[in-house]
């Protein structure tokens, strides 16, 4: 069975394919990959999907280390964001920055993180560049 080990040393296994309709209406096939959730004792897989024939190392879909249940929920992120806003009027508080770093560690892209923290993707990108360790 085909596997792919990410730079974070998480091994995804190809578990099957599924039909997929692209945004332009074209029928295509997605490769479905599973890896164990990083949450201790969790039995649910981290699911990643790539287009058939795509090089997994270039797909950029394997950044997550938690299953849907254990990744930070949007509600939790929004609540944290609201609390951070109350605590301070500055746009990017320490709490928000740590939030962003956590979401980034979970493999979300700046544009996905923007959905959680009410900052623009470019602002998040700049914050990540400033705060992430080399
Ligand atoms: Zn989990």
Residues with CB under 5 A from ligand 1 (ion): 37, 39, 42, 44, 67, 69-70
Dihedral over alpha carbons 66, 69, 72, 77 (to 10 degrees): 160
Q: Is 11 helix (H, G, I), strand (E, B) or coil?
A: strand
Positions in the chain short of pLDDT 70: 72-74, 77, 80-81, 84-93, 132-134
Backbone angles phi, psi at 105, to 5 degrees: -65, -25
Kindly list the domain boundaries of the chain, sorted by start residue.
Answer: 3-59, 74-131
Ligand 1 centroid–CA 56 distance in Å is 22
> Whole-prediction pTM value?
0.55
Residue 38: predicted pLDDT:
85
Q: What is the DSSP string of 28-45?
A: EEEEEEEEE-SSTT--SE
Q: Is the dihedral of CA 38, 12, 43, 100 positive or negative?
A: positive
Cα–Cα distance between 39 and 59 in angstroms, integer? 24
């Amino acid at each position: 069975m085909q596997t792919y080990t990410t730079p974070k040393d998480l091994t995804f296994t190809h578990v099957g394919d599924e039909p997929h309709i692209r945004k332009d209406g074209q029928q295509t096939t997605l490769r479905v990959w599973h890896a164990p959730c990083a949450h201790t004792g969790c039995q649910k897989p981290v699911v990643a999907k790539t287009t058939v024939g795509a090089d997994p190392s270039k797909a950029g879909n394997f950044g997550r280390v938690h299953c849907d249940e254990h990744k930070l929920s949007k509600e939790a992120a929004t609540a944290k964001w609201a609390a951070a806003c109350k605590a301070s009027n500055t746009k990017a508080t320490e709490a928000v920055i740590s939030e962003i770093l956590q979401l980034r560690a979970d493999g979300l892209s700046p544009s996905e993180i923007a959905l959680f923290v009410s900052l623009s993707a470019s602002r998040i990108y700049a914050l990540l560049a400033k705060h992430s360790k080399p």
